[in-house]
């Protein structure tokens, strides 16, 4: 897959950055995500952090859920940023969600020379091989 960001990717990043800059709250919302459907609609989400360690909902899951709530399933691109607006890599649980809910999406992740694009299967290569093993010949 091409690693170059396009204009719509930069807009998605800026959308997530704007959300976290407006809504960051210590011990509540440290991450924001933005997802774009093929029709161009953008959905956003904030991380929902709790006082119990390990009990939280990722911003990516919230954004995907917002899209699903409106019946949108054709997710084209996705990004998550931290509280200072840096693009970050999604956690393993969210990578699994991407394979199930948006397997062809362009996931914007950090790279050595700036943000780049990866597919859900590039983020979880072992999962791709497991899926191939389960498919009948």
Q: Is 60 a catalytic residue?
A: yes
d(CA 40, CA 55): 32
Q: Which residues of 29-59 are buried (b: 16+ CB within 10 A; e: fewer)?
A: bbbbbbbbbeeeebbbbbbebeeeeeeeebb
d(CA 1, CA 122): 9
* Cβ-contact 72, 86 below 8 angstroms: no
Structure tokens at 19: 């959300």
Instruction: Please pick, among 14, 26, 56, 60, the residue that the annotation labels catalytic.
Output: 60
HSE on the CB side for 70, CA within 13 Å?
15
Query: What positions carry a catalytic annotation?
Result: 60
């Amino acid at each position: 897959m091409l690693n170059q960001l396009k204009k719509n990717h930069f807009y998605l990043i800026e959308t997530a950055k704007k959300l976290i800059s407006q809504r960051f709250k210590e011990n509540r919302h440290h991450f924001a995500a933005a997802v774009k459907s093929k029709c161009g609609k953008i959905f956003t989400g904030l991380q929902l952090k709790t006082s119990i360690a390990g009990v939280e909902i990722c911003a990516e899951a919230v954004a995907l859920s917002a899209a699903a709530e409106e019946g949108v399933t054709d997710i084209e691109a996705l990004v998550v940023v931290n509280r200072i607006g840096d693009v970050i890599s999604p956690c393993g649980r969210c990578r699994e969600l991407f394979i199930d809910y948006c397997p062809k999406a362009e996931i914007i992740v950090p790279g050595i020379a700036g943000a780049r694009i990866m597919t859900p299967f590039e983020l979880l290569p072992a999962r791709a091989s497991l899926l191939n093993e389960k498919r009948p010949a």
